[in-house]
Amino acid sequence: MNIIAWIILGLIAGAIAKAIYPGNQGGGIFATIGLGILGSLVGGWLGSTLLGISTSGAFSIPGILFAVIGALILIFIWGLVTRRAA
């Protein structure tokens, strides 16, 4: 059940991050879920390591907030990587 919660959070965080970030990022539903899941890992790590904020619980406000922040960071990095390759 916990895996399903993180997948749903990944979908939500990825969709919010794509809506916030300017420009066209491309990718489908699976890219959005993957981006959100990786973003939640990055955001959770940043929140706990750098700020000392507990992000436990998939659907807590800090959990969602840091997942979106992490997804935004990953969108930015992905844009830098693909821009250089093109």
Contacts of 27 (CB under 8 A, 6+ apart): 35
Percent of the chain scored above 70 by pLDDT?
Answer: 79
> pLDDT tens digits for 4-39?
777 777 788 888 888 888 777 666 677 777 887 888
| Structure letter (DSSP) for residue 25 | -
Q: What pTM was estimated for this model as a whole?
A: 0.74
Please check whether residue 9 is in contact with residue 34, taking contact to mean a CB–CB distance below 8 angstroms.
no
DSSP states along 63-79: HHHHHHHHHHHHHHHHH
pLDDT for 70 = 84
Is residue 41 packed enough to be buried (19+ CB in 10 Å), middle (13-18) or exposed (0-12)? middle
